[in-house]
Structure 1
Amino acid sequence: MVLAVYFTVRSGFVQLRLFPEMFRVVRSSPGTAPDGRKEISSFQAFAISAASRVGTGNIAGVATAIVLGGPGAIFWMWLMATVLGSAAFVESTLAQLYKVRTETGFRGGPAYYMFHGLGQRWMGVLFAVIITVTFSLVFNSVQSNSIAGVVAMSVDSAGLPTGWLLNTLIGLVVTALLGLVVFGGVRRIAHVAETLVPAMALLYLLIGLAVVVLNLGELPRVLGDILAGAFGLREFVAGGAGAAIVQGMRRGMFSNEAGLGSAPNAGATASVSHPVKQGLVQCLGVYFDTLLVCSVTAFVILVPEPDYGGDAGAQVTQVALEASLGGWSVHALTLILCLLAFTSLLGNYYYGETNLRFLDADPRHMTYFRAVVLAAVFLGSVAPLPLVWSLADAAMGVMALVNLAALIPLSGTAFRLLADYTRQHRNGLDPQWSLAKMPDLRNVRCWGEAEGALPEEVELGHGSPLGDPVLRDEDGRPPEEDGRERG
């Protein structure tokens, strides 16, 4: 949080100052990859990161924050998202700068800017291992378990039988669908994400809007409850304000993942003309996740003036939605949760893939990895996972510490890029960047002919920590370097 405040001040409040610009650059057109097909667009990269960010936590997690911290937790969730937007900007701008070229486009993320930017091979390897295990295996098990759980709730409400047989069937279906997507490569992941994420968001926002319209007179009271819970004297005296702050900040941080080091893996895939463009887009992703999707959940829960005892997680949202819209909304919420969780499976898988390629690009090993991920997804749908949640929380904490330790020394470079972008934007130009503008930067491989070899202290003779994975495509072949300045 302290580091995010520093990034906010140092960048001149970039997450607020350039807010309108975020909507312009998300529509940027991509370039052409060495294989002749279109590279990943800025919006597709946004959709991949949103696929991972926006999951069942946006429904179950917000409900838990309100149950434990009261309505005031929502205010601190909003504040956390606003401040953390600067951290999202810094990490995704750096991911764009230090990305590497593949036959199908680009790849990058914290492991890459730790290695190429800092020259710290051990740090990149550590981060790559942690994020691969945490997101692709642990979190995907949790998401498939959530899908099985909400479908079972919906089936039970319809009076049909549930049990291990239903969970097994759900697991097989989800695993098969995920396999069809992930074996198609990053382009297929991007196409599915850019289709499902907007559809999912629109469906959920329409339901939330229906709740608001039907209870329009309750909005002043809901906003009053949120502010009173965050700042009220009675809450401070009773100790409730402390719980609101803790739960709201925790929900804000783990919902939007800003500073955690996950979203930059998606941001690095985008084909843009300036690294700052995708930094702004990923900052917009923080707002989309927390200020929009999580806020809808908060209003749905708070409008009926719920009793915070008894239910937990998604059940709180389900009960509140049923109270406002009727029994059909239980099944609608099940569909939404399934879409949320499935898109999270895609985003989480891709984070593991891009980091495993940092470690080892052997195509046979990628096949084994995909098989392990699918096995974890199936097992997650049939097993209770309280221990897995505890392991995931611990792993995410370590991952954030490693990433933030890299951002501190590298953030100055991100702010130099921001100054260049702001200067061009102020002059009415569509900002462009190449390494010729900052020739002192080393190991920048995708922004002009000055793409260089690694410095002697980290040069391994191969191009990556454990072989030569960084500059290979999805089939393990090295791409052709065409020297184009386009990122």
Structure 2
Amino acid sequence: MSTIFLEITTFIWEYLLIYLLLSAGVYFTVRSRFVQFRYFFHAWKLTLGSRKTSSNEISSFQALCTSLAAHVGTGNLAGVAIAIFIGGPGAVFWMWIVALLGMASSFVENTMAQLYKTNNKDGTFRGGPAYYIEKALGLRWLGILFSVLLLTTFGFVFNAVHANSVSQAVSGHMAISPVLVGLVIAGVTAVIIFRGIHSIVHFAELVVPVMALAYLLIAFGVVAFHLKEMPAVITLIFDSAFGLHSATGGAIGYSVAQAMMQGIKRGLFSNEAGMGSGPNAAATATPKPNHPAAQGIVSMISVFIDTIVICTATAAIVLLSGQLESGGTFNGIQLTQAALAGIVGGWGQWFISIAVIFFGFTSVIANYYYGESNLLFILNSPRLLQVYRSVVVFLVFLGSIASLEMVWMVADLAMGLMALINLVIILLLSGPVMQVLRDYDLQSGSGRSPEFNRSRFPFLDRTIDKDVWVHKPESEDSLERIGNANFQETKSC
């Protein structure tokens, strides 16, 4: 069975997904006129200015934290170590590339999620790829297929992955039985997820910024104390990425392929740009300004923080520690633990264990919500929702005692299938998103706070729900300045 999984996964990644991810990222970057760079500082301004909400709404900042809760986790601590262990230091370079391009892909999919969100009638929203597949393309069967894949990938498999990393870190360092660790993780998970979406976003808003900041402070401290060695580390990353350290042509080809494969796989697992997971969190927000592109812009920050900042911090710790050169056999989270302990002393293992526990919990909670949103798309049944919650809790426990290799293998396969579908869909539907971005550009460039008027987009006005993006009348002067923009309906849709 493991051989079949490996062969299918290898085919998807080597012959399909790597090229689709990179080409989609390049396409979105060029077509959006480098939105991830043009609006980089603006994205931070929107993020930091959106913490307050009214009534029962979920803010852009809370939605971002929920997304980061799923992204910032074992992929940053365990996934980076695995990528370097298998693909060499060059994998880090390809993680950077997939993140920079992925920021544009993230903008497209999260803006689309905002456009096609569903009103829960209680001040909150839900949405994601399944919702825009059905509403924009009329393909409910494909939306259901995507929902099943996402439900399996995040609700079940990825939660097992995160629980596995927590269990490995705690049981390996503290000599506690994985069974006991699994019972504790499952118990805390049950307490949070059975309380609903507001419990989830408040938990993420509280825990994610604190733990991410603490981890970055440690990493920056390590880099500061080894600043003289950093040029050599950066050189090693670039040399390894292009096989410059290999002696023969065959070795160069193999090392570059491994670096690229592991960097892109682990980078996608970590930041999830283009995979279709982040939109499930982005759709819950009520953005300020009142424009779908605003949430797409905010969502780009998640990819940047996750990969460019936190994954790079982990890579620096691993590469500065000398663990790879020492011939050690540690992999995954235990390699990260050993690396930090080798630099700062025994307390480094304790810190990584604590970080993994908190990051693991936040990832499990956010992944659960992704699955819930897609379960409600398939069938809105309170009884079925309770069954789903129970299964998630059980699989969190099961993942805690499973083997590392098998868990990651299933995760790679599920993630690849999901990403393939979503990337094709957002490429097909990118036309309206670029029109919406142009609208945001025009209004922002004129010094106004952008306000979305669905009536200027015929295709969107027909296909998005009638009770979302209800236009608030603007002054005639404002409309005169902006309303003459020629937004043609996208033919590809």
Same fold (TM over 0.5): yes
Find the partner of 1:173 among 184, 187, 194.
184
Q: Which runs of 5+ in 1 are unaligned?
A: 157-161, 451-487
One-letter code of the match for 2:274?
Answer: G
Q: Is 2:108 the counterpart of 1:90?
A: yes
Partner of 2:138: helix, strand, or coil?
A: coil
Distance 1:42 1:72, change over 3 A: same
Q: CA deviation at 1:231?
A: 3.6
- 5 Å matches for 1:141-180? 141-156=160-175, 162=176, 166-180=177-191
The answer for the alignment partner of 1:443 in structure 2 is 463
Distance 1:296 1:96, change over 3 A: same
Find the partner of 2:396 among 349, 352, 377.
377
Distance 1:298 1:261, change over 3 A: same
Q: Is 2:362 the counterpart of 1:340?
A: no
- 5 Å matches for 1:400-479? 400-441=419-460, 442-445=462-465, 446-448=468-470
Structure with the higher helix share, 1 or 2: 2
Distance 1:433 1:224 in 2: 46
Distance 1:390 1:229, change over 3 A: closer
Distance 2:87 2:301 in 1: 26
Distance 1:169 1:406 in 2: 43
Q: CA deviation at 1:30?
A: 6.2
The answer for the alignment partner of 2:272 in structure 1 is 257
Distance 1:411 1:30, change over 3 A: farther
Report Cα offsets for 1:103-161 as digits up to 9, x if no partner.
241000000000011111111010011101111111112211221211112213xxxxx
Report Cα offsets for 1:87-109 as digits up to 9, x if no partner.
11100000000001012410000
Report Cα offsets for 1:367-409 as digits up to 9, x if no partner.
1111111111122223335434322222211111111221122
Q: Is 2:282 the counterpart of 1:267?
A: yes
Report Cα offsets for 1:304-344 as digits up to 9, x if no partner.
33335422112222222112100111111100011111111
One-letter code of the match for 2:29?
Answer: T
Distance 1:411 1:207 in 2: 40
Distance 1:319 1:167 in 2: 19
When normalised by structure 2's length, the TM-score is 0.85
Q: CA deviation at 1:167?
A: 2.3
Partner of 2:276: helix, strand, or coil?
A: coil
When normalised by structure 1's length, the TM-score is 0.86
| Aligned residues of 1:30 and 1:271 also touching (Cα < 8 A) | no
Q: CA deviation at 1:169?
A: 2.3
Q: Which runs of 5+ in 2 are unaligned?
A: 1-21, 473-493
Distance 2:30 2:76 in 1: 28
Distance 1:151 1:29 in 2: 34
- 5 Å matches for 1:83-482? 83-102=101-120, 103-156=122-175, 162=176, 166-231=177-242, 233-235=244-246, 237=249, 238-239=251-252, 240-272=255-287, 273-308=290-325, 309=327, 310-384=329-403, 386-441=405-460, 442-445=462-465, 446-448=468-470
Partner of 1:144: helix, strand, or coil?
A: helix
One-letter code of the match for 2:213?
Answer: L
Q: CA deviation at 1:84?
A: 1.3
What is the count of residue pairs matched by the alignment?
438
Range with bigger deviation, 140-149 or 77-86? 140-149
Distance 1:169 1:245 in 2: 38
Partner of 1:307: helix, strand, or coil?
A: coil
Q: Is 2:44 the counterpart of 1:23?
A: yes
| Aligned residues of 2:76 and 2:310 also touching (Cα < 8 A) | yes
Q: CA deviation at 1:432?
A: 1.2
Q: CA deviation at 1:449?
A: 6.4
| Aligned residues of 1:118 and 1:406 also touching (Cα < 8 A) | no
Report Cα offsets for 1:409-460 as digits up to 9, x if no partner.
210011000000011111111211031232342221211169xxxxxxxxxx
| Aligned residues of 1:200 and 1:340 also touching (Cα < 8 A) | yes
| Aligned residues of 2:274 and 2:423 also touching (Cα < 8 A) | yes
| Aligned residues of 1:168 and 1:382 also touching (Cα < 8 A) | yes
Q: CA deviation at 1:232?
A: 5.6
The answer for the alignment partner of 2:5 in structure 1 is none
| Aligned residues of 2:114 and 2:295 also touching (Cα < 8 A) | yes
